[in-house]
């Protein structure tokens, strides 16, 4: 009788697993691009990390995820599974939309392992967007990043990271970056990192090694240290391009060290800058060095063709806060009209100045953004949006 009972329970468990496999046990969705799996809590995140067969699917964060108290010994998503040189695991080739949410307090202690980050390896066609990884503490050997260990494929590439950021600390030996350790035939667009980064060879504030890849409208502000091929933004570029990017963090190394790029080997740099004062580096293998005062002056960037203007409702790429370096427009709360990282009476004063104005579509950047829905008017709908952010802080 006892054996029969045990069998019955096992059969029930099998049926439960089968149903979960068929219909999914995330917080919703089917994994298709038009109906992504919903990651709403740590349990959903755990399912994602333990289900490699899902790493070709589409996901969306519906809430912030806090991983406090947990230490990983490999990348949570798409880790390497072998000590053999070269990635031997299952890459992430799906879509991960952060939906402007964050994954925070990621801790990875793997000093002898490769492909370390929230995502160990993002393969061809993989996409990560609208995601923040906050307060990471990541340690690995090679291919180490705050967000991704290695992005793209040597032969066909295609991996894309868009509108993402990383904060915290990252350390390793080779190919170490604040956001991405190595970027092969991949793209980073509208991303930034503030991570403190340390390594040995090919170490960068945003990307350690950029191979036939493109970085567009990106920046890094964290301190970077290494031995050789050390840069405030990228340690080493092997072909590829950097466009409208900058770096401000301190940079320290022994050889092939630069405020923006440690060594540029046949890459194309267009309208890129670094702060010669805060970096402590008067030179870079590409880019233009500027003083801190110049880096906080709008004309430095507009004269280089950077996009700071709204055109027919199309948002600009960049915004210049008061007495600060440029930031990406997606970083700003719609109600932070004063752009100081808070929503308070300073913003209200700007909003009130334009109340019921009807020419915002053509006046002063949509009435200094008081026209929050860009319909040309500052009215009750804009007020409702404004109030929804009242007294929030830490927007960027």
pLDDT tens column, 113-135 = 999 999 999 998 999 999 999 99
Residue 247 lies in a domain: yes
Its domain, for residue 388, covers: 332-396
pLDDT band at 394 (very low <50, low <70, confident <90, very high): low
Say yes or no: 260 and 362 in one domain. Answer: no
Contact 292, 275 (CB under 8 A): yes
The pLDDT tens digits for 8-39 are 334 443 333 443 444 458 999 999 999 999 99
Say yes or no: 336 and 281 in one domain. Answer: no
Res. 350: pLDDT tops 70 = yes
Q: For residues 314 and 119, which has the higher predicted lDDT (pLDDT)? A: 119
Number of domains in the chain: 2
Burial class (CB within 10 angstroms; exposed 0-12, middle 13-18, buried 19+) of 265:
middle
CA dist 108 and 209 (Å) reads 21
Say yes or no: 392 and 276 in one domain. Answer: no
Say yes or no: 210 and 128 in one domain. Answer: yes
The per-residue pLDDT for 155 is 63
Say yes or no: 283 and 344 in one domain. Answer: no
Say yes or no: 98 and 39 in one domain. Answer: yes
Say yes or no: 338 and 276 in one domain. Answer: no
The pLDDT tens digits for 382-392 are 999 999 888 87
- Given 298, 316, 350, which residue is the final one in a domain? 298
Say yes or no: 105 and 214 in one domain. Answer: yes
- Given 253, 276, 298, which residue is the final one in a domain? 298
Residue 107 lies in a domain: yes
The per-residue pLDDT for 297 is 97
Please, what is the average pLDDT of the chain?
91
The per-residue pLDDT for 396 is 54
The pLDDT tens digits for 283-313 are 999 999 999 999 999 999 999 999 998 765 6
Say yes or no: 294 and 368 in one domain. Answer: no
**Residues with Cβ < 8 Å from 354, sequence gap 6 or more?**
360, 367, 368, 370, 371, 378
The pLDDT tens digits for 226-250 are 999 999 999 999 999 999 999 999 9
CATH classification of the domain holding 361: 1.10.1330.10
Residue 24 lies in a domain: no
Say yes or no: 188 and 286 in one domain. Answer: yes
- Given 298, 324, 341, which residue is the final one in a domain? 298
The pLDDT tens digits for 369-379 are 899 998 999 99
Say yes or no: 343 and 385 in one domain. Answer: yes
Number of CB atoms found within 10 A of residue 348's CB: 16
Say yes or no: 69 and 202 in one domain. Answer: yes
CATH classification of the domain holding 290: 2.160.20.110
């Amino acid at each position: 009788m006892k054996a029969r009972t045990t069998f019955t329970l096992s059969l029930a468990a099998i049926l439960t697993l089968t149903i979960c496999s068929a219909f999914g046990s995330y917080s919703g969705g089917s994994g298709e691009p038009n109906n992504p799996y919903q990651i709403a809590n740590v349990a959903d995140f755990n399912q994602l990390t333990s289900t490699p067969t899902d790493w070709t699917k589409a996901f969306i964060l519906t809430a912030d995820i806090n991983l406090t108290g947990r230490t990983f010994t490999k990348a949570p998503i798409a880790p390497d599974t072998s000590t053999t040189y070269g990635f031997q695991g299952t890459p992430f080739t799906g879509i991960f939309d952060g939906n402007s949410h964050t994954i925070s307090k990621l801790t990875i202690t793997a000093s002898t392992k490769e492909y370390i980050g929230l995502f160990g390896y993002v393969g061809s066609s993989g996409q990560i967007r609208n995601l923040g990884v906050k307060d990471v503490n990541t340690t690995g050997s090679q291919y180490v990043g705050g967000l991704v260990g290695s992005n793209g494929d040597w032969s066909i590439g295609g991996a894309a990271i868009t509108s993402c950021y990383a904060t915290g600390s990252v350390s390793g030996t080779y190919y170490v970056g604040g956001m991405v350790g190595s970027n092969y035939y991949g793209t980073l667009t509208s991303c930034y990192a503030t991570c403190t980064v340390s390594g040995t060879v090919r170490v960068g504030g945003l990307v350690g090694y950029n191979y036939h890849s493109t970085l567009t409208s990106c920046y890094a502000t964290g301190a970077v240290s290494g031995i050789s091929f050390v840069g405030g933004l990228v340690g080493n570029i092997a072909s590829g391009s950097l466009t409208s990017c900058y770096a401000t963090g301190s940079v320290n190394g022994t050889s092939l060290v630069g405020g923006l790029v440690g060594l540029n080997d046949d890459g194309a740099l267009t309208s890129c800058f670094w702060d010669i004062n805060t970096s402590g580096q008067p030179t870079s293998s590409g880019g233009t060095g500027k003083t801190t005062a110049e880096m906080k002056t709008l004309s430095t960037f507009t004269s280089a063709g950077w996009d700071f203007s709204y055109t027919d409702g199309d948002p600009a790429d960049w915004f210049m806060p008061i007495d600060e370096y440029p930031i990406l427009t997606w970083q700003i709360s719609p109600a932070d009209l004063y752009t100081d990282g808070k929503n308070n009476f300073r913003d209200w004063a700007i909003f009130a100045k334009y109340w019921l104005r009807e020419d915002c579509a053509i006046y002063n950047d949509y009435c200094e953004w008081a026209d929050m829905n860009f319909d040309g008017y500052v009215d009750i709908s804009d007020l409702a949006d404004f109030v929804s952010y009242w007294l929030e802080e830490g927007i960027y």
